[in-house]
């Protein structure tokens, strides 16, 4: 049970960071003329979101009982 609780905590951390990324991307995209640096930040945020999504899926799969 302790292992599951730790994994839930890790999953919450990853999902929270992912959500933060979604919010930041949305705020940046509200700026109409995006500068080159803003576009670069958006690309980096999208990469980070993809890594977080992958890590969250991996953690969630380890929490499921085997079939």
Which letter, b or e, does each residue of 10-25 get, where b requires 16 or more Cβ atoms within 10 Å of its Cβ? Answer: bbeebbebbeebeeeb
pTM of this structure:
0.81
Structural domain includes residue 65: no
Structural domain includes residue 35: yes
Number of compact structural domains in the chain: 1
Structural domain includes residue 25: yes
What domain range is 13 assigned to?
A: 2-60
Residues 6 or more apart whose Cβ sits within 8 Å of residue 48: 21
Structural domain includes residue 66: no
Contact assessment for residue 49 and residue 21, using Cβ atoms and an 8 Å cutoff: yes
Please give the pLDDT value at position 2. Answer: 86
Region 12-22: mean pLDDT is 96
- 66 versus 22: which is more confidently predicted? 22
CA dist 65 and 67 (Å) reads 6
pLDDT at residue 65 is higher than 80: no
Structural domain includes residue 39: yes
């Amino acid at each position: 049970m302790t292992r599951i609780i730790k994994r839930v905590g890790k999953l919450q951390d990853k999902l929270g960071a992912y959500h933060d990324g979604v919010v930041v991307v949305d705020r940046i995209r509200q700026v109409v003329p995006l500068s080159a640096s803003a576009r670069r930040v958006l690309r980096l945020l999208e990469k980070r979101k993809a890594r977080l999504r992958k890590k969250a899926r991996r953690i969630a799969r380890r929490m499921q009982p085997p079939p």
